[in-house]
Chain A
Amino acid sequence: DSGVTQTPKHLITATGQRVTLRCSPRSGDLSVYWYQQSLDQGLQFLIQYYNGEERAKGNILERFSAQQFPDLHSELNLSSLELGDSALYFCASSVVPSGGSDTQYFGPGTRLTVL
């Protein structure tokens, strides 16, 4: 158990809908990262937050957005869902802002299925 929690574990929804995935980082970690793993692709970095501020952006679609709240939990919002958005979404956390040289601890993931 990494100490990072993600809810829900599974989510099934329809095309065009909007969903919110939630992540609580390890106690003391200020940075949160979101990743997507689709069936046909490897792990893709989406976005990083540090202490409430966006720090780095990867291959995140405009239909997706994220935020980190004062209590440091983070939410990833996915809207106008398409079939291709079906994937496993991981959240990870680390202590320091740069993240590049800091160990990241991954949560168990949320599996999103878009029908």
Chain B
Amino acid sequence: ILNVEQSPQSLHVQEGDSTNFTCSFPSSNFYALHWYRWETAKSPEALFVMTLNGDEKKKGRISATLNTKEGYSYLYIKGSQPEDSATYLCAFRTGNQFYFGTGTSLTVIP
């Protein structure tokens, strides 16, 4: 079983602050890295699918970068809003397997 680590485990920020968190994964046998946003009592919602080293993706105030050689991806949220409060989950795909991190729980305080 591969290890996918996310840090920090939880984060509290003030509305308007920018924040970022990390997903670390093995640097070998990389196929894709997925980011999901998961609100309580809902199902995971896809944010990004990243496949190439150096990839940068953006969706509104949320962006992500990927470094497959060193095995990490960063997720950035600019100007956090209360509605950004959720768990942000990454999933590493190698071959035919998906490995999920345990997520970063973000709380944005109004």
Contacts and interface: CB of A to CB of B under 8 A. Distances in A.
Partners in one complex: yes
Interface of A: 2, 33, 42-45, 48, 55-59, 90, 92, 99-109
Contacts of A103: 46, 49
Contacts of A45: 97-100
Contacts, number: 52
Q: Which of B91, B98, B102 has the most CB of A within 10 A?
A: B98
Contacts of A108: 42-43
Chain B's interface size range is 20 to 34
A42 B46 contact: no
Interface of B: 1, 31-32, 34, 42-46, 49, 51, 89, 91, 93, 95-103
Contact of B100 (A44, A92, A106): A44
A9 to B, nearest CB: 12
A100 B33 CA distance: 8
10 contacts: A2-B43, A2-B45, A55-B96, A56-B95, A56-B96, A56-B97, A100-B31, A101-B32, A104-B34, A105-B46
B49 A48 contact: no
